[in-house]
Structure 1
Amino acid sequence: MTSTEVNSVQPAVDPEKDATVGADPKIVKHSHDADEALKAVLEAGGQAITIDDETNRRLLRTIDWHMMPLMCVVYMMNYLDKTTLSYASVMGLKEDLHLVGDNYQWLGSLFYFGYLAWEYPTGQLLQRMPLGKYSAVWIILWGAVLSCFAAVHNFSGAVAIRFMLGVSEAAVTPGFALLTSQWWTKREQGSRTNIWFSFNGTAQIVGGLVAYGIAVGSRKHGSLIEPWKVVFLANGLFTIALGVLFFFYIPDNQLNARWLSKEDRIKAVERVRVNQQGIGNKSFKWYQFKEAFTDPITWAFVGYSVFSQIPNGGISNFFSQLIVGFGYTAEQSLLYGTPGGAVQIVALILSGYLGDYYGQRLLFSSGGVIAALVGMILIIALPVDNHVGRLIGYYLFPACATSFVALLSMISTNVAGYTKKTTVAALYLISYCVGNLIGPHTFRPKDAPRYVPAVIVIVVCFGVCLADLALIWWWYRRENRRKARIRAQPGYVKLENQEFLDLTDRENHEFEYAL
């Protein structure tokens, strides 16, 4: 990382937006529009800070080792906890809760009704509340809610638990996206987002093995309570323990990280200056909120999220039953679903590394969608008695996560202005809910066990997703060229310290979009 300097702040240029404030550092310090990063730099004396390459590498290693492991395990449980229903569906849950007709499909959807209801409010609270502590509280609550599923004995009780589980998990993904944008540089964010999201694949492996072990153990030796209840209790209690650890260990930002020295805290802020985003701003800004809705790329993100999650909503709730439809037993479906998790891990880490290395996240992430599309075609096209070939088709499906995660990381990287970022993240995840609400209902009971119409819907959705990715790539290239022309104009002047002034990506002409 090249050396950076802290300079004086230029006079105000737009009082309405208050993008910059007066030259007096005291005014900057107390301005509600100054980013936390700028306040910290001024409080440190406003002296030039130089970060050499060795110091930058040391700080990056420290941040990675203190943040990533816990984020990864929590995100593993985030996926495992909401898909526990799929494992339980072939372990006696349907019979014990007397589910009939489309009851099971509605249980799959109700999680996303809760997520949808709370996503925007929690996005705003993530901006206003201490980020680490707020996220930790919701991790603890979601573990408690999941544990309560073991006490459910009818459909109405399951409805309430699934809805509240969606509410309690709504803060996790947007919170992690904000943490990633806060702690890592643009060049580092893609691979880090892919790493913690890849633990969805780890969850699929761990969840399948645990469920299989519980099912086999209960069949051979019996159990005091139903096997599916054991799965809910084990996952829920472990999540509560993780939430407590997260509360005391993950800081709200660089400035209160107990595992960094006072000097390193300022350096950790300075190293992300290149992002042109700062580390957080507690003030809600209406102009940024409006810009989020008028920016065309926001709606390209929303469209991708809906169409990519219709397949996910169906498969994540029906993969065990789909594998049974390939000709395997219920117990085998628990075990044979696990390799799909390994495919997702490899796809995410590989696309994240190559995308960051070549500066083409969208290009490399689209490969995962193509692989998943091929897999769905195999499921439809291969003969019914070709169990292995159709199972391999299913194993290719989890690779589709690469592009969803790439766009999630681009909210961290390419959306600037803290109010705008939290708004776009909320819209992206609200759309995620809409897609996941629709998905389970494409798997209709009358189409079992092959679910051919559902698989056709998935194929069409992936085609739309590829077109959407191409549009986003073209738009960002065009915008980067437009900004380059503006910077090349003779009268163009770069504002001092504008990296930490909480400007949006559209109003900051120094901001370049990652591809």
Structure 2
Amino acid sequence: MAEVKDVLATTTPHDVEQATDSSKATEFNSMRRHVNSDDPDEALKLVTGEAVTLTPEDEKRLLRKIDCNLMPLLCVVYGLNYLDKTTLSYASIMGIKTDINLKGQDYSWIASMFYFGYLFWEWPTNRLLQRLPLAKYSAFNVIMWGLVLCCMAAVKNFGGAMTVRFFLGAFEAAVSPGFALFTSQWYTKKEQGARVGWWFSFNGWGQIVGGFVAYGIAVGTEAHPILIKSWQLVFLVTGFFTAFMGVLFLYLMPDSQLNARFLTQEERIMAVERIRMNQQGVGNKHFKWYQCKEALSDPMIWAFTLFSVIVSVPNGGMSNYFSQLIVSFGFTENQSLLLGTPGGAIQVFSLLVAGHLGDRFNNRILFGASGVLIAVLGLFLILLLPISNSGGRLAGYYLYQFSSTGFVALLGLISTNVAGWTKKTTAAAMYLLAYCVGNIIGPQAFQSTDAPQYRNANIVVLVCMFVSFAILIFINFWCRHQNKAKATIRASPGYAKVDGQEFLDLTDRENPEFIYTL
């Protein structure tokens, strides 16, 4: 059996593309027929023998039921994930800098420290997401990051803030990879782009709600002083609400179709059958070194990783400095809290539209890339318009909010285009480790000596947007090339599909039936 796995692990579309004769294809199939007994996906606990036939009415009803039970939880918690990261930006203009005696680049380092924690724990947390019950481990992290965020209200100095931000990043490291796993586990490839767009768009809602909450607290505490500072109250309100949502997540979110309480036993089987076409299954608890090695040698995964680090440099800077940037356009501090909220609305709009159109026209990558180009236009407005043109430069900041479409497109493609659960979790870890590196670098581009305009930082952001656009175009080309190679394999004389291979935990490269989504 180990011999068979070794052959499969090293077999790629390129290898088989060179061997299309009948004897080669027959030999390839004879090896693959043995894989079905070797550590299959958990879904085989539910589906055996002939596949269940779902009518269009069954499919529509079941999808609606899944959406109603899963999406509200995923969306709200992901919105809190963004809000909790960016509370520091609101606090920066509500007095935290003075109250804990920050000087020079201290604030930038506190902003970056979140991603040091994220970076430190990203690989272990991805392994735990695979090994432990998915929903329960995710809920534990949500509860803990909410409680840790509350601790920010108690910091007295630079060292305390650095410590809390490190642990906040460590606990939030499970969110994006975990939610990508939930999406690939429950939804078909055609549905995944829109669903990732739905829950990621709640970053924008987080910015909208956060701006109003911070403004309300700032104005309210000015009119009616309380025993604690306004920035401390922001951390306490958002932190305790996050912990509460974590408890709800623990109670309501299923680990997979196997234990979904909102489904009947028959519906659980149907929920697994409907994602059979993904060629990915619903989960496998065992770590497989050959899949890890394949991820580390896959050009597509490295392109994802490079994109993540480049596009996260702007994100790391803007998400922590957007309030100060809006002030630099000529608005007051309290005005900047409110003026940040339309940026969140634009992000919601751009992600929902790009996700919907990407799925409808079967090209998420190009629609994601179009958002990056709109962001480039916004950055040109910020850089080239005169300082006196406050409205025009603010409009440029709003257009920059389209930039997240590219990041979300690729996050969705980790869910859709990477198969094999060890490979998928490895790819997600690589993508998010790179995300951490970029976000660590980002705040450092905003040097205190460049305040308040931060022109050099805006130039860095612009260059990163151009490079990330080029990487998206490369990934689109690569996926098309791989699909042609797989079509050659399937057309080979003697090729035959193995029964039940959808649930054998095969990787995308070793499974000729796997088709990459663009």
Into which bin does the TM-score normalised by the smaller protein fall? over 0.9
Kindly indicate whether residue 109 of structure 2 is the aligned counterpart of residue 106 of structure 1: yes
Q: 1:183 touches 1:268 (CA, 8 Å); kept in 2?
A: yes
The alpha-carbon deviation at position 361 of structure 1 amounts to: 0.4
* SS of 1:222 mapped into structure 2: coil
Aligned to 1:123: 126
Q: Which amino acid aligns with 1:39?
A: K
Matches within 5 A, 1:489-508: 489-508=492-511
1: CA distance, partners of 2:264 / 2:428:
32
Q: 414, 418, 430: which one pairs with 1:411? A: 414
* SS of 2:463 mapped into structure 1: helix
Q: Which amino acid aligns with 1:175?
A: G
Q: 138, 141, 153: which one pairs with 2:144? A: 141
Kindly indicate whether residue 517 of structure 2 is the aligned counterpart of residue 514 of structure 1: yes
Matches within 5 A, 1:300-319: 300-319=303-322
Matches within 5 A, 1:291-440: 291-440=294-443
Aligned to 2:249: 246
Matches within 5 A, 1:192-341: 192-341=195-344
The alpha-carbon deviation at position 219 of structure 1 amounts to: 1.1
Q: 1:12 touches 1:22 (CA, 8 Å); kept in 2?
A: no
Q: 67, 91, 111: which one pairs with 1:88? A: 91
The alpha-carbon deviation at position 398 of structure 1 amounts to: 1.4
The alpha-carbon deviation at position 92 of structure 1 amounts to: 0.6
Q: 438, 445, 453: which one pairs with 2:448? A: 445
Q: 1:32 touches 1:283 (CA, 8 Å); kept in 2?
A: no
Q: 2:327 touches 2:333 (CA, 8 Å); kept in 1?
A: yes
Q: 1:411 touches 1:421 (CA, 8 Å); kept in 2?
A: yes
Q: 1:133 touches 1:252 (CA, 8 Å); kept in 2?
A: yes
The alpha-carbon deviation at position 52 of structure 1 amounts to: 1.1
The alpha-carbon deviation at position 24 of structure 1 amounts to: 12
> Number of residues paired by the alignment?
499
Q: 2:343 touches 2:401 (CA, 8 Å); kept in 1?
A: yes
Kindly indicate whether residue 17 of structure 2 is the aligned counterpart of residue 14 of structure 1: no
Q: Which amino acid aligns with 1:152?
A: V
Q: 41, 53, 70: which one pairs with 2:47? A: 41
Identity of aligned residues (%): 59
* SS of 1:280 mapped into structure 2: coil
2: CA distance, partners of 1:458 / 1:299:
21
Q: 182, 185, 188: which one pairs with 1:182? A: 185
The alpha-carbon deviation at position 48 of structure 1 amounts to: 4.0
2: CA distance, partners of 1:386 / 1:48:
63
- The TM-score normalised by the length of structure 1 is 0.94
Q: 73, 78, 90: which one pairs with 2:76? A: 73
The alpha-carbon deviation at position 15 of structure 1 amounts to: 4.7
State the 4+ residue runs in structure 1 displaced beyond 6 angstroms.
17-25
The alpha-carbon deviation at position 47 of structure 1 amounts to: 4.5
Give deviations 1:365-424, integer Å, cap 9, x for gaps: 111111111111100100010000000001111110001000000000000000000000
Q: Which amino acid aligns with 2:288?
A: K
1: CA distance, partners of 2:6 / 2:384:
60
* SS of 1:99 mapped into structure 2: coil
CA-based RMSD: 1.8
1: CA distance, partners of 2:348 / 2:110:
27
2: CA distance, partners of 1:21 / 1:136:
43
2: CA distance, partners of 1:204 / 1:477:
36
Give deviations 1:91-138, integer Å, cap 9, x for gaps: 010010100111000000000000000000000110000000000000
* SS of 1:264 mapped into structure 2: helix
Q: 1:12 touches 1:18 (CA, 8 Å); kept in 2?
A: no
Q: 1:204 touches 1:337 (CA, 8 Å); kept in 2?
A: yes
Q: Which amino acid aligns with 1:154?
A: N
1: CA distance, partners of 2:293 / 2:32:
28
- Per mean C-alpha deviation after superposition, the further-off stretch among 148-157 and 194-203 is 148-157
Taking a change above 3 Å as real, the CA distance of residues 17 and 148 of structure 1, as seen in their structure-2 partners, is farther
Structure 1 unaligned residues grouped into runs of 5+? 1-10
1: CA distance, partners of 2:73 / 2:7:
38
Structure 2 unaligned residues grouped into runs of 5+? 10-28
2: CA distance, partners of 1:434 / 1:369:
20
Give deviations 1:29-71, integer Å, cap 9, x for gaps: xx561101123213xxx34411111101111000000000011
2: CA distance, partners of 1:159 / 1:47:
56
The alpha-carbon deviation at position 485 of structure 1 amounts to: 1.1
Taking a change above 3 Å as real, the CA distance of residues 144 and 217 of structure 1, as seen in their structure-2 partners, is same
1: CA distance, partners of 2:394 / 2:358:
29
Q: Which amino acid aligns with 2:42?
A: E
